[in-house]
Amino acid sequence: MNLMRSAMLLAVFVLSPLSPALAAAGSPDWMPAAVAALEQSMIAEYGAGQASRVKSGLGQVAGFWRQEDGDRAAFERFARANFAGDQQTLDAMFARFEYLLEQFDGHVNEIVLAMRRQTDLELGPILPFDRVSAGYSPGSHFNQDWFANKLALTVLLNFPLTTLEQRLSEGDAWTRRQWAETRLAQRFSSRVPAEVNQAIAAANARADQYIADYNIWMHHLLDDQGQRQFPARMKLLSHWNLRDQIKADYSEADGLVRQRMIQRVMERIVDQTIPEVVIDNPTVDWDPYTNQVTVAAVTDSDRPVDAGAGPINAPEPDTRYAVLLNQFHAMQQLDQYSPTAPTHIDRRFNEDREIPEPRVEAMLEQILSSPAFADVGALISSRLGRPLEPFDIWYNGFKPRGTYTEAQLDAITRKRYPDAAAYEADMPRLLTGLGFSREKARDFAAKIVVEPARGSGHAWGAAMRGAQAHLRTRVGPEGMDYKGYNIAVHEMGHNVEQTVSLYEIDHYSLQGVPNTAFTEALAFVFQARDLELLGLSEPDASSQALQVLDDFWGAAEIGAVGLVDMRVWHWMYDHPEATPAELKQATLTIAKDVWNEYFAPVFGQRDVILLGVYSHMIHSRLYLPDYPIGAMIALQIEQQVERAGDLGGEFERMSRIGRLTPDLWMEQASGAPVGPEAMLAAAVRALEQVQGAAIASADRSGHH
C-alpha cells in the first residue's frame, strides 16, 4: 500500500503506432506502413461501421508488437485472423476470454494459497524452504506468456484501452458491457517480463515474513523501576497489536503507564534503536527507556534462552528500511514497462485507485487542517482530564467498548470462539445479526473459511466461482481474544464483499470494487458493529455521535500516516541509490514534518515519529492512503444504509456495482462522489451534540 505525486494522470492510454514511448520500447520500423495498409483493407472488408474499432485495435497491437512476435507478414496474418468483425463473433470472444481469465485467476489463486499456507497460518514452525515456497509466484509468467502466445494481443486488437481521463469524463454514459470490456483490456496495458513479476513477488514475500514475525513479548518489558506491566505470555505484533493494546488500555486503571511504554517501544522500532535480540524473543527482558537487555530468569515459552549472536544490546541494523528499499527496487523494475505510469506512485494512484494523487493529498489535508480536528482533540483532552500525549492519536474512548476492560472482552470472545472453527460456525448468526436474510447469511458463510493467522489477519478472496474466500485472524492457545475477534469482523466484511462481487456480478471483468479503499470502507461497516454482535451495545443517538467522532479522529490519524507513506515513496524515487540508514533518516524527518504541521498545534509536542510505525509502509507498498479514503467512503455508505434502513440489502447492492471508477461507484451507491465533505459535516454535528449533552449534564449536576 503506497503513494505518489506525479504530473501524469493517465493510467492506461490509447496506443498509437507513432508514439515515441512505444517506439523506444521496441516497435518495429515497418509498423507504421503495415498499420496504414491494414486499416485500409480491413475497413473495406468489414465496413465503415467497424472503422474506429479497426483503427484503435491495430494501433493498440502495434504499440505492443515486438520483433520476437514476428515480421510484417506475421503481423498482418495475426490481425486478419483475430479481428472480430461482427457483433456475434465479438460477443463470443468476450465471453470466452472472461471464462478463461476466471479459470486462470481462480486456480492460480488456489495455488498461491497453498504455497503460502505454512507462512501465512499459525501451523507450527517455519522451515527455510517454507519461505521459498511463499515467495514463489505461479502467475508471474501470465503477462509474458499471454503476449508471447498472442492472446493478450488478441484482446488488444478487439477491446479498447482507455485513458483515466476518458474513464472519469465519459464512464457515466457507458453500459455495463462497455465497462467490462474496458477492464478486460486494462489487464494488458503493459508488457512485463516474468522475471520482473517474480522479483516483485519475492520482495513482497520477504516483507510479509519480516512483518509477520515482528512480535514483542510484553511480559518481558521492564519499566524504570524494573517492574513488569503486562501479563505473562502476551505477544503483540507490530504495529497492529501494539496499537490495539494502547486502545484497550484507555479502559484500564493503570493503562497510562502501559501506553507510555508502548509508545517508547514503537519509537524504538521506527528509529531502529530497538535491540535486535528482543524481537520475537521471550527469553530476554528489556527496558525500552534505558534500552538495556538482560537474559530473562523466567521465559514465556519452552524456547531455550537465546541472547543472539552479537552483543545483547545491539540494535536492529536498519532491517526495517532495508526491507522497504527491497520493495522499492522491485517495483522500480516495472517502471520501464509502464510508459504512461512510469513510477509505482503513478500506478498506485492512477491505475489502482483511479484517483489522482493531488486529489487524494488534498482530501487528506482537508481533514487534518479542519477546525474540527483541533476541536475533537480538545474534547479528548477534556475527557481524559490531562493534556494529550502522542499515543492519543489512537484514542479509543468514544467507542462503547470503553465501558469494558480488555480482560472482560477477551473472556467473552475466548469463551465464544475457542478456535477458528467456532467463529466459522457462528458466521450465519453474525451475518443475520448484521441484517442479511437467513438464506443469504448461510450462503455467504458457506463460501468463507476461517483460519488462524500467523500475522495480524487478512481477508483473501476467491478468484473464481466455486472457490472459498479465506478469513484469517489471530487465535491464541486460549481462544480468540477481543483483538482477534475485532479483526475477524472486519475481515468478514471484506469476505462478504468479495463473495457478492464475484458470485453476483454480471461480468467477471467487473468483479470487485473500484479500489482497496472501497473494500476497506465496506469492512468498516461490519467492524463498527462488533460489540452489537456480542450483545454488548445498542446504538442510540449519543453512541452514534460518538462513533462519528471516533471515525473522524481515526481518519485524521491514518490520513497523516498516509501522507508520510506518500512522501517516503517520493523520497525513494528522488534518491534511488539510498542506503537503509539514509532512508531511515529521511523517514524520521518526514514523520516529524507531518506531525509538526498538523498534530503539534493540537498536541503541544513537536518532532514525534509515531506516524512512521505502520507495518503497511514496509510490506504493502503505498497502501495506507486507502484507509482514510475508506473512512470517508464508509461514512457515506453508513448514511445511505441509514436512509434505506437495510444494511444487508444495501451492502449487497453496493457490492454488485463492481469495478467502476470511484466517483461513479459512489454516486450509484450513495448519490454523491467520494470526498471528505460528508465526514466533516457529520463531525461538526456530532461535536455540537456531544458538547451540548455535556453542558446539559453539568447543568443537571449543578442543580443537585
pLDDT single digits (tens) 571-592: 999 999 999 999 999 999 999 9
pLDDT of residue 311: 67
Domain total in the chain: 3
- Which has the closest alpha carbon to 345: 516, 514, 573, 189? 573
Evaluate whether residue 558 is within a structural domain.
no
Are 177 and 28 contained in the same domain?
A: yes
Query: For 17-26, 35-44, 399-408, which range has the lowest pLDDT when averaged over its residues?
Result: 17-26
The CA angle 498-103-504, to the nearest 5 degrees, is 35
pLDDT at 5: 24
234 and 294 part of one domain: yes
- Domain membership of residue 153 as a residue range: 20-191
Residue 520 included in any domain: no
How far CA 148 is from CA of 83, 142, 153, 233, 685, in Å, comes to 18, 10, 9, 54, 58
Domain end among 469, 504, 539:
504
Q: Cα separation of 439 and 430, whole Å?
A: 13
Q: Where are the alpha helices (DSSP H) in 213-254?
A: 240-248
CA distance 624 to 178: 31
| Average pLDDT of the residues in 163-184 | 95
179 and 33 in one domain?
yes
> Using CA atoms, how far apart are residues 324 and 346, in angstroms rounded to an integer?
18
Residue 108 lies in a domain: yes
531-572, pLDDT tens digit by residue?
999 999 877 888 889 999 999 999 999 999 999 999 999 999
The strand pairing partners of 221, in sequence order, are 286
Q: 450 by DSSP, 3-state: which?
A: strand
- Residue 170 covered by a domain: yes
Query: Does the pLDDT of residue 673 top 50, yes or no?
Result: yes
Question: Is residue 480 assigned to a domain?
Answer: yes
Q: Residues 220-242: what's their mean pLDDT?
A: 93
| CA–CA gap between residue 103 and residue 276 (Å, rounded) | 45
Question: What per-residue string of b and e applies to 623-647 under the rule 16 or more CB within 10 Å gives b?
Answer: bbbbbbbbbbbbbbbbbbbeeeeeb
Q: How confident is the model at residue 13 (pLDDT cuts 50, 70, 90)?
A: very low
Residue at which a domain ends, from 266, 300, 316? 316
By the 8 A CB rule, do 45 and 85 touch?
yes
**What pLDDT, on the 0 to 100 scale, is given for residue 698?**
55
Given pLDDT bands bounded at 50, 70 and 90, which one contains residue 26? low
Give mean pLDDT, residues 59-70: 95
What percent of the chain lies above the pLDDT cut of 90?
84
Q: pLDDT grade, residue 18 (50/70/90)?
A: very low
pLDDT at 697: 59
Identify whether residues 99 and 179 lie together within a single domain: yes
Residue 541: the pLDDT is 84
Looking at the predicted structure, is the pLDDT value of residue 17 above 70? no
Between 394 and 135, residue with greater pLDDT = 394
Query: Considering the chain, what percentage of its residues have pLDDT values greater than 70?
Result: 92
Pure H helices in 369-452: 371-384, 406-416, 420-433, 438-446
> Which range among 73-77, 313-317, 538-542 shows the weakest confidence by mean pLDDT?
538-542
Mean per-residue pLDDT of the chain: 91
Tell whether 235 and 305 lie within a shared domain.
Answer: yes
227 and 304 co-located in one domain:
yes
What band does 404 get if pLDDT is binned at 50, 70 and 90?
A: confident
Q: Looking at the structure, do residues 45 and 134 belong to the same domain, yes or no?
A: yes
H helices of 187-254, in order, are 194-212, 240-248
Residues 149 and 238 in one domain: no
Residue 452 within any structural domain of the chain: yes
Asked whether residue 61 is domain-assigned, the answer is yes
Q: Are residues 155 and 264 in the same domain?
A: no
* Residue 624 scores a pLDDT above 90: yes
Q: At what angle do helices 677-703 and 371-384 cross, to 10 degrees?
A: 30
Question: Do 35 and 133 lie in a common domain?
Answer: yes
Same domain, 247 and 140: no
In a domain, residue 282? The reply is: yes
pLDDT on residue 62: 96
254 — pLDDT class (breaks 50, 70, 90): confident
**pLDDT beyond 90 at 437:** yes
Q: What is the pLDDT of residue 11?
A: 27
Look at phi and psi of residue 476 and say left if phi exceeds 0, alpha if psi is from -120 to 50, else beta. beta
Q: What is the pLDDT of residue 23?
A: 37
pLDDT per residue over 316-354, tens digit each? 999 999 999 999 999 999 999 887 789 999 999 999 999
Q: Is the pLDDT of residue 646 over 50?
A: yes
173 and 86 share one domain:
yes
User: CA 293 → CA 268, 279, 298, 442, 526, distances in Å?
Assistant: 13, 12, 14, 52, 42
**Which of 482, 504, 526 is the C-terminal boundary of a domain?**
504
Q: How confident is the model at residue 394 (pLDDT cuts 50, 70, 90)?
A: very high
pLDDT at 420: 97
- Asked if the model's pLDDT at residue 45 lies above 50, the reply is yes
Q: How far apart are CA 620 and CA 630, in angstroms?
A: 16
Sorting pLDDT into bands at 50, 70 and 90, what band is 400? low
Determine the average pLDDT of the residues in 420-426. 98
Place of cell 509502509: 617
Mean pLDDT of 614-618: 97
Least confident of 185-189, 301-305, 324-328, 611-615: 301-305
